Structure 1
Amino acid sequence: MSKKKNIQENSKALSKKGFDAHILVIRLSAMGDVAMTVPVLRAFRAAYPNVKITVLTRKFFEPIFSDIENVDVYHADVTGKHKGIFGLSKLSKELRRTGITAVADLHNVLRSNVLKNFFALRGIKVVQIDKGRAEKKALTRSENKEFKQLKTTHQRYADVFEKLGYPIDLDHHSFPEKAALTPEIVELTKNSGKKWLGIAPFAQYQSKVYPLELLIEVIEKLNSENTYEILMFGGGKKEIAILNNIESKYQNVINVAGKLSFEDELKLIGNLDGMLSMDSGNAHLAAMFGIPTITLWGVTHPFAGFMPFGQPMENAILPNLAKYDQIPTSIYGNKFPPGYEKVMYSIQPETVVEAIKNL
């Protein structure tokens, strides 16, 4: 089938369903980056109700998009049937059969670049995110550092849609209503009438994790006030074991990790009164529901553009930047110079507790 005929048939099929166009959105990982697409897609749907959206991502992430109307999720099985060049060729054919007319690549990695070439051969327009690599390199270098606020990742996502012809004003975003609690959530939380405070103490890199002994001080102070139900989030055997140990010692602490489906965990997060998180995915999951979110930053910094959506800068608690003046040392926290192993120790537990109370 020729490019022109293929595009014409896609347009006819969309018109019959009441849509003017069908945009494929690519964002395969990681969880925080996927969560950051949600406010942008909500704003897009509100502005362009006649444009169909399909998100290409991992199957596990599908519940993240559950509150957005007319958004389908297509599962990328990159370790199975969509693995390698032939698997991606198969995936591109599957996606073309859905009737896509344009592609917003919010990932811009090797896999999405391969898909881009397959789509281009069929005359499908692809716009890829500008990650601002040069700016981020200038922000994180140790010498001649350009220490300034960069464009947010949310705005970088929005810019992709604007280049496709669909400008988005993120200030016009609306958060969804709180989801109803499932029986599993009610049983776990005992439907407590206290303030529900989520704490997500882990991150991909240790340089972004608040020291456990200092976190315990925070929990002890909050627990003693008997006004908070402290809900601990994490994943993996090691993290669950740590959280189980904390739960066993404090009356007002509940370990959520491993006890709910991901879908229910999201519903619980959307019903919190506040979230304390590292610079990690859980911060973005809470922020996409409009939950007041306090973030603790190690060798990374909000200037790189990863501040949770809609959160004021005062909700970001930073280390002693006068002492650790090379921060941010990297975008993701995977690189830092000698002597920066304990930057998080410069954040006092009292500072964290006070920030939580101010919420």
Structure 2
Amino acid sequence: MTSSKEKIIVLRFSAMGDVAMVASVLREFTAQHPETEIVMVSRTAFKPFFTSIHNLKFHAIEPKTTHKGLVGLYRLYKELKQYKASSIADLHDNIRSRAVSSFFRISGIKIKRINKGRAEKKALTRTEQKVFKPLRQTVERYADVFRELGYTLKLSHQLQRNPQTLPEKVANLFNTTTKKIGISPFAQHIYKVYPYDKMEQVIASLSEKGNQLFVFGGGEVEKNIAENWAGKYHNTHNLIGNFNLTEELAIISNLDLMLSMDSSGMHMASLMGVPVISVWGPTHPYAGFLGYGQAEKDCVQIHHPNRPNSIYGNKPCLCGVESCMDLIQPQTIVNKIEEKLNG
């Protein structure tokens, strides 16, 4: 299917990490189908994920204003209709994406929707009769939608490094031969976050070994925590609140390694082709959300019969008195990072 008239509208509105995963898939899709145009519909904030993708136009959804409610979604449909797309790839399958795609279905446009595998995810996370096995990766579930639309698509599952030009404010920090490690210690749900006191021990150890450390991701509270670490430990830099997403992606693209939770930091690093050491608590890479091109052997986690008990990390750990995050020793993370850097 290579007609230049073909155009696919892709719907994935949130969350940040999921949208970054879509960008990884679309980069491979457009390389394999250079004549097919993509219209990516997502939140304005996520546009930087898609700027370097060939033959892609970004269309913003404004769910709190212009596109609020059913009337707003119909307005979005009318905007998207102007593109004269041949098909719709709904990679979200939520109320909003279903509403928009249903408008298109009524007008005779082919719709395919992601199969999220809800039943098997429930089986993976329940306590009784848990079915503990790797599920289909989310990026492959995204790719399946394009396959159902009739396109061939083979994902490489390889990191593709493409260093961007560094923002001037940090360029001098990259002029040394020391290892550059990104640290993305925060997450939307607190249960996915490695305890701050233990993370501080990791930072202290990595700083003492002479690495350059860059702390990413978060709001005002997280910024204060990162500023505190930067003030205490040599060669530790807070980036929170100092750079926009485009600049952050450029900095990430020049790192040697990222240390991240099961969160958007992992997916941003994956998009920029950077290896990640990821730390997992009540969630698990078996659910399919490991960063694109990342290896399971680079996941730090404890083994417990009650893990995982959550897909999204919005439920507390069920591992007993100490949570599964608390049971991970800082030295374990430091060792894994050194092994990866020196491997």
2:169, 2:102 → 1: CA distance? 45
Q: CA deviation at 1:138?
A: 0.4
Of 239, 245, 259, the residue aligned with 1:262 is 245
2:319, 2:30 → 1: CA distance? 47
Q: CA deviation at 1:119?
A: 0.3
1:97, 1:340 → 2: CA distance? 57
Q: Determine whether 1:54 maps to 2:34.
A: no
Q: Deviations over 1:157-196 (max 9, x none)?
A: 0000000011210027672521111323326x36444211
Moved more, 173-182 or 41-50: 173-182
1:306, 1:166 → 2: CA distance? 23
Q: Deviations over 1:218-252 (max 9, x none)?
A: 111111111x1000012211000000001000111
Q: Does the 8 Å contact 1:39/1:173 carry over to 2?
A: no
The residue that corresponds to 2:313 in the other structure is 333
The residue that corresponds to 1:230 in the other structure is 213
Pick closer, same or farther for the CA change 1:101–1:264 going to 2, 3 Å: same
Say how many residue pairs are matched: 338
Q: Does the 8 Å contact 1:54/1:71 carry over to 2?
A: yes
Q: Does the 8 Å contact 1:207/1:341 carry over to 2?
A: no
Q: CA deviation at 1:338?
A: 7.7
AA of the residue aligned to 1:207: Y
Q: CA deviation at 1:341?
A: 6.0
1:62, 1:190 → 2: CA distance? 26
Please give the secondary structure, in 1, of the residue aligned with 2:37: strand
Q: Deviations over 1:129-157 (max 9, x none)?
A: 00000000000010000000000000000
2:192, 2:177 → 1: CA distance? 32
Q: List structure 1 segments (4+ residues) > 6 angstroms apart after TM superposition.
A: none
Alignment of 1:145-156 (within 5 A): 145-156=130-141
Q: Determine whether 1:125 maps to 2:110.
A: yes
Relative to the length of structure 2, the TM-score reads 0.95
Of 271, 274, 277, the residue aligned with 2:260 is 277
Relative to the length of structure 1, the TM-score reads 0.91
AA of the residue aligned to 1:161: F
Q: Determine whether 1:196 maps to 2:205.
A: no
The residue that corresponds to 1:212 in the other structure is 196
AA of the residue aligned to 1:249: K
The residue that corresponds to 1:9 in the other structure is none
Q: Does the 8 Å contact 1:158/1:167 carry over to 2?
A: no
Q: Determine whether 1:95 maps to 2:70.
A: no
Extract unaligned runs of 5+ from structure 2: none
Please give the secondary structure, in 1, of the residue aligned with 2:325: helix
The residue that corresponds to 2:286 in the other structure is 303
Extract unaligned runs of 5+ from structure 1: 1-14
The residue that corresponds to 1:138 in the other structure is 123
2:253, 2:162 → 1: CA distance? 9
Q: How well do the aligned residues superpose, as a CA RMSD in angstroms? A: 1.6
